[in-house]
Amino acid sequence: MTDRNEDSALMRTYARLPVAFERGEGVWLYDAEGRRYLDGIGGIGVCGLGHAHPAVAEALCEQARTLLHTSNLYRIPLQARLAERLTALTGMDAAFFCNSGAEANEAAIKLARLHGRRRGVAVPTVVVTEGSFHGRTLATLSATGNRRVQAGFEPLVHGFVRVPYGDLEAVRTVARNSPDVVAVLVEPVQGEGGVVVPPPDYLAGLRTLCDEHGWLLMLDEVQTGTGRCGAFLACQAAGVTPDVVTLAKGLANGVPIGACLARGEAAALFAPGTHASTFGGNPLACRAALAVLDVLEAEGLPARAAHLGEWVRARLREALAEVPGVREVRGLGLMIGIELDRPCGALVGEALDRGLLVNVTAERVVRLLPPLVIAESEAATLADGVATLIREFLAAAA
């Protein structure tokens, strides 16, 4: 066990579990006593290739010995190469690189405002949804549909109008009543909001509305992207191409990076001096992301996430079918949520005691975001372990 006092010089932003990991390998993490844990949360959807992946480690070591950082005062060939790979994978035209999901969304929101200014809109307004999560900077927490993320940080950034998630009619109503709307920003599947999958026609319906009104369709794929949901982007499975899409979590397997990709007019809105990041797209981060893309492609990991995710959900549904208190097993690809009828945060510590790393979000939803490289036998261990835990948790509480 770690001494909690060791953390006393840290600001108290996190309610951390009493464990620290020393090393990892694939889907396994090891603490100082050598105890191993099956990682069902993958650093919150970051470590898609698992821990200490040799291809990423090799690329990072070589790049660290060669060149880490030069700044965007100069051309960065690795950044240009990563932009080419990502635009080819997503159907976008250009990329801006930063260091996190929130920053990628900040770039998207700034693009929406430039798009609005160009159209002569006085107060460019972005449609956002209830239950959404877009980050912790002032603009992205203002876009976020969770009062607890916003409380204490008022005044919020203006220029957002909120609608229920998954509800196209509500967006149509906004279209009729709010002439200042210039864009829609949504997650294809809500992550922090509780692994909420919208109706099947939702993204396509938003695409149509955006086309009708000259709005930008901006998808926050920070959690759903990079192969997690069964295609490189979750929206590709729905056959929808956005105007702006943001990536971060899984893009470099743990090296901080964010990307804002855009297409058409939106790809040409930034001009020199209008947006920037000192670290953004530096050679180290781009090299790591390129290594991730190589492995994703070579091993067909997005397709694997699609079928393995279905398989895990089927196994969980079967194991939990007759269990009162289990509301729903849902998700897309290897983004999996099990909604209970009561708060279940305590389940996370019980899982830890049994060597399983899971997460609870939106109070009642057990969330799994395992590495995309998880073997079938490991996925079975994870599903069975989680099902047992949930059964015992609900039985003890009854």
Ligand X SMILES: *Cc1c(COP(=O)(O)O)cnc(C)c1O
- Residues forming contacts to ligand X in the complex (CB under 6 A) are 100-102, 105, 133-135, 187, 191-192, 220, 222-223, 248-249
| Residue 69 backbone phi and psi in degrees, to 5 | -155, 140
Give least dist CB 224 to ligand X, A: 7
- Let me know if 353 is a catalytic residue: no
* Type and span of the H or E element at 219: strand 216-220
Left (φ > 0), alpha (ψ -120 to 50) or beta: where does 387 sit?
alpha
* Type and span of the H or E element at 125: strand 125-129
Catalytic choice (39, 96, 160, 220): 220
**Nearest residue to ligand X on Cβ basis:** 101
Give least dist CB 170 to ligand X, A: 20
Give yes or no for a contact between 379 and 313, defined as CB atoms under 8 angstroms apart.
no
Catalytic choice (96, 133, 160, 393): 133
- Let me know if 110 is a catalytic residue: no
Give least dist CB 161 to ligand X, A: 19
Nearer to ligand X, 63 or 105 (CB): 105
Give least dist CB 99 to ligand X, A: 8
Residue 251: Cβ within 10 Å count: 29
Q: CA-to-CA distance for 394 and 375, rounded, in angstroms?
A: 28
Burial of 66 (0-12, 13-18, 19+ CB in 10 A): exposed
DSSP calls for 192-206 = TTTSBPPPTTHHHHH
Nearer to ligand X, 191 or 309 (CB): 191
Give least dist CB 233 to ligand X, A: 13
Tokens of 24: 């990892």
User: Using alpha carbons only, how large is the chain's radius of gyration in Å?
Assistant: 21
Tokens of 20: 């620290």
The whole-angstrom distance between residue 72's C-alpha and the CA centroid of its chain comes to 26
Give least dist CB 92 to ligand X, A: 18
Nearer to ligand X, 83 or 108 (CB): 108
Q: CA-to-CA distance for 212 and 48, rounded, in angstroms?
A: 37
Nearer to ligand X, 98 or 291 (CB): 98
Mode of pairing for the β-strands spanning 28-31 and 216-220: unpaired
Nearer to ligand X, 248 or 356 (CB): 248
Tokens of 105: 């969304």
Among residues 394, 256, 258, which one has the least CA distance to residue 319?
394
DSSP calls for 338-359 = EEESS--TTHHHHHHHTTEE-E
Give yes or no for a contact between 110 and 140, defined as CB atoms under 8 angstroms apart.
no
Give least dist CB 135 to ligand X, A: 4
Nearer to ligand X, 250 or 283 (CB): 250
Nearer to ligand X, 134 or 313 (CB): 134
Nearer to ligand X, 202 or 393 (CB): 202
Give least dist CB 220 to ligand X, A: 5
Catalytic choice (97, 249, 270, 393): 249
Tokens of 128: 């956002």
How many CA atoms lie within 13 Å of 55's alpha carbon, on the beta-carbon side?
19
Q: CA-to-CA distance for 326 and 296, rounded, in angstroms?
A: 34
3-class secondary-structure state, position 283: helix
Show which residues are catalytic: 133, 220, 249
